[in-house]
Amino acid sequence: MLIRSPKNRKNKMKFKPLKKQLTTTLVLGILISSFIATILFYSYEYIDDNYLLSNKISSNYSHHLFNKFDKFIKKDGISTNDYEKLQNWNKGSKNTISLLYIFKNDRMCYYSHYALSSYEKYDKKAIENLSDTSLDLVKKYNIQKETMRFSDGYADVYIEADISDYLKAIILVFIFIIWLSIILLIFTNRLKREINYINELSNQVDNMKSTDLDEEFTVIGNNEISNLAKTLNLMKNNIIEKEKTEKELRQAQEKLITGMAHDIRTPMTSILNYAEILRKTNDDTKLSPFIEKIIEKVNDLHTLSDQMFEYFFISGKNIPRNFEISLIEHSLGDYLSELYALLEYENFIVNADDLIFIDEKIKISSDFLARINNNIFSNIIKYADKSKPVYIYSIYENMEYKVFISNTISNNVFKIKGSKIGVNNIKFMMQHMDGYCTDEQNLKNNTYTIMLAFKIQK
């Protein structure tokens, strides 16, 4: 059974879970909003008790009820004896009418609290017995009165509106909205802070992807997100340390290779000089082929060391930055013309009839083009059959300008195994110029073709 050490448990609980922090924020929001809601409710109760807020609003609302009742009796021709119709109207407004009295000549004709469902059960005598008492009450409590014209004559109508329940309900709804809004405000504000923090970390990750490793990831708070920021900082520092180590190793490797190339060149030059002396002074025809082989092999080693040196030069910190966008004829014309002239000087037959420059732009580096030109020229000198033409032609397709250089392979090449370092160097340099390179050897026709493709730049 795996047992975690107390140290591991302690490290695991370094931060407070975000879920717990958000729950705490929510509870805090509920407590704060409940406190504010309680203050608002008791403030309303205090104002209502001391300033008779409900009574004042009810008094104003009574005028509305008088107008409504007046329209009702005029429209339907109501008399003071239409108890059932009066009762139905009163029921329709029962939530806002506390009392409704109708007196005609100081005799009570209708009392809202003496409600019966049918006219036959209505006890007129009981209403008449309440007249004197009720009249004293409405006068004592100063209930609002208006004289209205019924179908059977004028009568005094007393109405006391009571909308305190409605008002309290509205206040409670208003307080609930405030209560909920405060909770949401506190919770969403905390949530917004965390989202903004995540966005900030995301932007910093994007900056790190663009090789900007100097910026530290911001650590805010003590939860999973801040723990992620700490982990990202640790990862960034590891990347920096790894890159530093790789850079030191690469520099050491470059130093070693360049040193070896230099050290190899010195004895090779001496061997080549001695071989040339032997060639000039040798009278033994049997030794001549061996001397020629020595000279040939030394030249191969010299070319190989040059290519190795070039590879580490172009793949290291010495990559040129002088890239430019230029017209095809201006950027490639000089180099292809130079290649044409050099091959003719070496007694090659060159056919460039199908080399056509178009009016488009490509990305080039003068330093890279010079090196590519030199590599292609060296390969042709070394491997091509001088009795067969070298073809230089171009094709424009799929927004790419392609230059093909094709030659017939010399029969002597099959005795030599090429290292392909020079071609790989060309491919590497073409990639940096937003292009690519392919090479193909056709054994059937005994030809070799290298293609340089440049993407058209807008």
Predicted local distance difference test score (pLDDT) of residue 167? 73
Q: Tokens at residue 71, please?
A: 């329209």
For the chain, the first-to-last Cα distance in angstroms comes to 66
Residues 174, 31 within the same domain: yes
Residues 417, 449 within the same domain: yes
Predicted local distance difference test score (pLDDT) of residue 295? 80
In the chain, the number of structural domains is: 4
**Nearest alpha-carbon partner for 429 in 334, 318, 343, 338:** 318
Residues 173, 25 within the same domain: yes
Q: Tokens at residue 223, please?
A: 């939860």
Residues 197, 335 within the same domain: no
Whether the Cβ atoms of residue 364 and residue 323 lie closer than 8 Å to each other: yes
Residues 45, 192 within the same domain: yes
Residues 202, 240 within the same domain: no
Write the DSSP symbol of residue 283: -
Residues 45, 172 within the same domain: yes
Predicted local distance difference test score (pLDDT) of residue 114? 62
What amino acid occupies position 96? T
Q: What is the CATH number of the domain that holds 351?
A: 3.30.565.10
Residues 429, 294 within the same domain: no
State the Cα–Cα distance between residues 341 and 347, nearest whole angstrom.
Answer: 10
Predicted local distance difference test score (pLDDT) of residue 196? 87
> DSSP characters for 36-97?
HHHHHHHHHHHHHHHH-HHHHHHHHHHHHHHHHHHHHHHHHT--TT-HHHHHHHHHHTTTTE
Question: What parts of the chain have a pLDDT lower than 70?
Answer: 1-15, 48-60, 93-96, 113-142, 162-165, 209-212, 258, 261-262, 307-321, 413-419
**Nearest alpha-carbon partner for 377 in 341, 325, 334:** 341
- Owning domain of residue 190: 18-51+167-208
Taking only Cα atoms into account, the Rg of the chain, rounded to an integer number of angstroms, comes to 52
Predicted local distance difference test score (pLDDT) of residue 400? 93
Rounded to two decimals, the pTM is 0.45
Q: Residue 83, Cβ neighbours under 10 Å: how many? A: 21
Q: Let me know if residue 338 belongs to a domain.
A: yes
State the Cα–Cα distance between residues 104 and 80, nearest whole angstrom.
Answer: 8
